[in-house]
Amino acid sequence: MTRGTPRLENLPTSDAQLSIMKSNVRDTAADRPGVYRMLSSDGEIVYVGKSKRVRSRLLSYFRCAYPEEKGARILRSAEAIEWDYTPSEFAALLQELRMIKRFRPRYNVAMKRDGRNYAFIKLTKAPAPKLIVVRGPTGEDADIYYGPFVGAQRVDGALRELNDALMLRDCRADLKMFFSDQTELFQLARTPGCIRHEIGKCLGPCVGGCSESQYSERVALARAFLDGSDDGPINMLRTQMERLSAELQFERAAVYRDKLERLEALRAQFGRLRFAVENLSFVYTVPGHEGEDKVYLIRRGVVRAELSKPKSSRDRRTMKQLVDDIFAQPVSVTAQVPTHEIDELLLLSSWFRRFPNEMKRTRQVS
């Protein structure tokens, strides 16, 4: 059900319009879960919010005492408020997220949630991709994300060491690269490089220190390492170390031994920091307003299907088929997370962290 405020056409938000909006909320909104939208005079959705009690939440905007308060600023940009009721707070949360992704309202974007507990490792695109720690999706869909990991700072430290061990770059994303197999090497004079190349912690793709394919090999090793799918980086270092030992180059072999030990420790560390996405896979039944109960089929932290709680044996058969279809699909062992799933994964993990008792409503699928 959608309810709205009558609009005064072509007028800026004024006290008179605010008064109309407030009366409309007071007279028609109900105290039940839902999602609301603030719309500007030209119909742009400037803000999307959700609440367990829509009426109380909306009325609280009109009580903002100072013009610089978030609520007052949003309200002064809006000429109308619309809202939809949802069966539960959880349903409101999901709908809010989907609307924010769809409409990207300016106040939601400006006030983007920070302080999240989780971090991701993002692999940027070529040339010379680099790994960075981020709190959520940034940039384009084509970027690759690993995670989530718990504790951004610790992940940052571990990633620095992974970069050093595999000699990957960690400098400005827009720094011009000059691979050794590029023809215009005369341009090297324009790139200063940095100390990391000199001390053997970066292959130096900016100063012709490696070819593009040599650098790509290291990136592939980093990806395999972060995926946890194979021991590529560790095996590579071990092979190098053994070859140098056989050639009696003990000093250089010792450097590889240290890197190897560090990488093995990092593997264990990334394992501890990694949030077990697979734990967020179950059937979750949520009681709804006036019996509007919903069932969510959640796999790897993302709602794959939602349906009304079955009331007949036919409904139950339909649900069982859906459960079979969704949970029977083979699980990828990769730690890579599709960009478009990150926000929902963060939302679900934060929901079950805030309300651990909700786990009692879940049922594992065997």
List of residues contacting ligand SF4 (CB under 6 A): 169-171, 175, 193-194, 196-197, 202, 204-206
What does the alpha-carbon distance between residue 178 and residue 127 come to, in Å, rounded to a whole number? 10
In the complex, the smallest distance separating the C-beta of residue 167 from ligand SF4, rounded to whole angstroms, is 8
- 167 or 302, CB closer to ligand SF4? 167
In the complex, the smallest distance separating the C-beta of residue 90 from ligand SF4, rounded to whole angstroms, is 45
CB-based contacts of 156-164 (< 8 A; 24+ apart in sequence): 156/119, 158/266, 158/269, 158/270, 158/273, 159/121, 159/131, 159/132, 159/133, 161/262, 161/266, 162/131, 162/222, 162/225, 162/263, 162/266, 163/130, 163/131, 163/201, 163/202, 164/196, 164/201, 164/259
In the complex, the smallest distance separating the C-beta of residue 198 from ligand SF4, rounded to whole angstroms, is 8
DSSP class per residue in 218-249 = HHHHHHHHHHTS--HHHHHHHHHHHHHHHTT-
In the complex, the smallest distance separating the C-beta of residue 149 from ligand SF4, rounded to whole angstroms, is 23
- 155 or 168, CB closer to ligand SF4? 168
- 96 or 164, CB closer to ligand SF4? 164
Backbone φ and ψ of 80, nearest 5°: -155, 155
Instruction: Specify which residues 157 forms β-bridges with.
Output: none
Tokens 């009558």 belong to which residue?
Answer: 6
In the complex, the smallest distance separating the C-beta of residue 233 from ligand SF4, rounded to whole angstroms, is 18
- 175 or 303, CB closer to ligand SF4? 175
What does the alpha-carbon distance between residue 256 and residue 240 come to, in Å, rounded to a whole number? 7
- 163 or 339, CB closer to ligand SF4? 163
Instruction: Specify which residues 204 forms β-bridges with.
Output: none
In the complex, the smallest distance separating the C-beta of residue 187 from ligand SF4, rounded to whole angstroms, is 14
- 188 or 194, CB closer to ligand SF4? 194
What does the alpha-carbon distance between residue 292 and residue 109 come to, in Å, rounded to a whole number? 32
- 180 or 245, CB closer to ligand SF4? 180
Strands (E), the chain: 2-3, 34-39, 45-51, 80-85, 118-123, 131-134, 144-150, 282-286, 294-299, 302-308, 336-337, 362-363
55 CB neighbour count, 10 Å cutoff: 18
In the complex, the smallest distance separating the C-beta of residue 266 from ligand SF4, rounded to whole angstroms, is 19
164-179 burial, b for 16+ CB within 10 Å, e for fewer?
Answer: bbbbbbbeeeeeebbb
- 92 or 166, CB closer to ligand SF4? 166
In the complex, the smallest distance separating the C-beta of residue 52 from ligand SF4, rounded to whole angstroms, is 49
In the complex, the smallest distance separating the C-beta of residue 178 from ligand SF4, rounded to whole angstroms, is 9
- 20 or 194, CB closer to ligand SF4? 194
Using an 8 Å Cβ cutoff, are 81 and 36 in contact?
yes
